[in-house]
Amino acid sequence: MKLQDLQYICKLIYEANNMSVIYLNEDEEVEFEYTTSNRRNPFNKSLQDLLKQFHLSKDLFTFPLLGTTQFYENYFLIHINNQNQYKGIIIVGPTLSTELTNERLSSLVYDLSDRKDLREELIHYYQSLPRVSTIKFITISVQLYYMIYQEALDPADIILKNNSVVGQNLNITDPHISISQRRENVSFHHDFMYEKKIFQCIKEGRKDEFLKIFKLSPEHGEMGVLSKKSHLRSKKNLGISAITLATRAAMDGGLHHEIAYTLSDLYIQDLEELPDTKKVDAFLEQALSDFAERVRKNKQQKYSKPINMCLNYIFTHLYEDITLTSLAIIVDMHPNYLSSLFKKEVGISIAEYIQRTKIDEAKSLLTFTDYSLLKISTMLNFHDQSYFTKVFKKYTGITPKKFKNSTSVGAMTD
């Protein structure tokens, strides 16, 4: 691609999304820049100050790199290469992922500086930044990448690939399992269905599914404010609450209570030592991911590989029509042998396990959404609503309608 073509594409991104775009060549010199002059962080008086935060590498990454600065600004970076030779890098941002209320803005600025003059500059700076949700921001990065390379990317894969390259090892005393990598760009939104899904994934040991939901879900409302004065203190309090809930979910998933409680203590102690909100966010995602991973490993010790493959498939394809035959093809076994092995290891038949899992999902949908019984039964691939009602009553003792009437929004069910 010619430089003028790349420049034209970047200009389109700038004009369409009101985001700053900078292109640096292989010598880290600015080839072109589209930006609003008033969007300069008072702590970064020059472009060089900004670039120091990114630890720019000439390693070629075949996907957009996502990043959040210590000032809560979001950026994405795309490497430019020609025949596997590094030719430069595009930096898009800054943006904020959510609208900041005056109280939240004041508490954030309070954590960043004790100088009143800088506080005023920071407030003006944050007010000038475009608000772009996480999913939209990633979608824009996919769009720009496709315009440059004509290669389609999956947003979920971008998240998982970023998790593997952006994190730092987190050293916490642990006699059993090494700690996984710290993550970036966390935003813990308080929405009942979202929250239910998050902790259900931890309980089930579904780490990859947890990361996708945690990262790629649409905006789910404002986070709670647990400190009026300090945004950092508020984030730490939210993190402690999340770790506490994750501890309970992991124990419900079979993690030994002593390991879970010890991890909880260590995580909260280390959380208290973190100096800024960016590190709190990264730490929280890593901690919750670790709980899910430990539950997964604990569960896998109980079952053989074919049964684990079946359980994983059922979890990730719950809204599809799952049959014994389809599972047998996946694990390359005769259906009768797989059926016998599943009942021997899990204790119930495959059909019953699928029904129980779907009814658990239906309970969540009835509790946390306004979906009709017909829609839920259709989504979960029941033959008709009457059959759905029959199966639901079999495992819960009441009809879906009575269950719906007996629950209130916000009540968390197992």
Note down pLDDT in tens along the chain; length 414 residues. 789 999 999 999 999 999 999 999 988 889 999 987 677 788 776 777 777 766 666 677 889 998 887 777 889 999 998 888 889 999 999 998 876 666 667 776 777 766 777 777 888 888 889 998 888 899 999 999 999 999 998 887 788 788 766 543 333 333 232 222 222 233 344 456 777 888 888 988 888 878 777 765 544 445 566 666 788 888 888 889 889 999 999 988 888 777 888 888 888 988 988 888 888 888 888 888 889 988 888 877 778 889 988 988 888 788 888 999 999 999 999 999 999 999 999 899 999 999 999 998 898 788 777 888 999 999 999 988 999 999 999 999 999 999 988 865 434 333
Q: Are residues 19 and 74 in the same domain?
A: yes
Q: Are residues 228 and 189 in the same domain?
A: yes
Choose one of 300, 333, 363: the last residue of a domain.
300
Please name every residue paired with 77 in a beta bridge, in sequence order, or none if there are none: 65, 91
Neighbours of 301 (CB within 10 A): 9
215 and 133 Cβ atoms separated by less than 8 Å: no
Choose one of 300, 332, 365: the last residue of a domain.
300
411 belongs to a structural domain? no
The range of the structural domain enclosing residue 349 comes to 305-406
Measure the CA–CA gap between 356 and 378, rounded to whole angstroms: 16
List the structure tokens of 136: 């939209």
Total domains present in the chain: 3
Q: Are residues 245 and 367 in the same domain?
A: no
pLDDT at 254: 83
Q: Are residues 11 and 137 in the same domain?
A: yes
99 belongs to a structural domain? yes
CB proximity list for 212: less than 8 A, separation 6 or greater: 156, 159, 160
CB proximity list for 326: less than 8 A, separation 6 or greater: none
- The one-character DSSP state at 96 is B
Q: Are residues 152 and 182 in the same domain?
A: no
Place of tokens 């009143």: 116
Q: Are residues 200 and 333 in the same domain?
A: no
Whole-model pTM: value is 0.49
- The one-character DSSP state at 223 is P
Q: Going along 11-122, which residue ranges are E strands? A: 21-25, 30-34, 65-68, 74-82, 85-95
Q: Are residues 293 and 309 in the same domain?
A: no
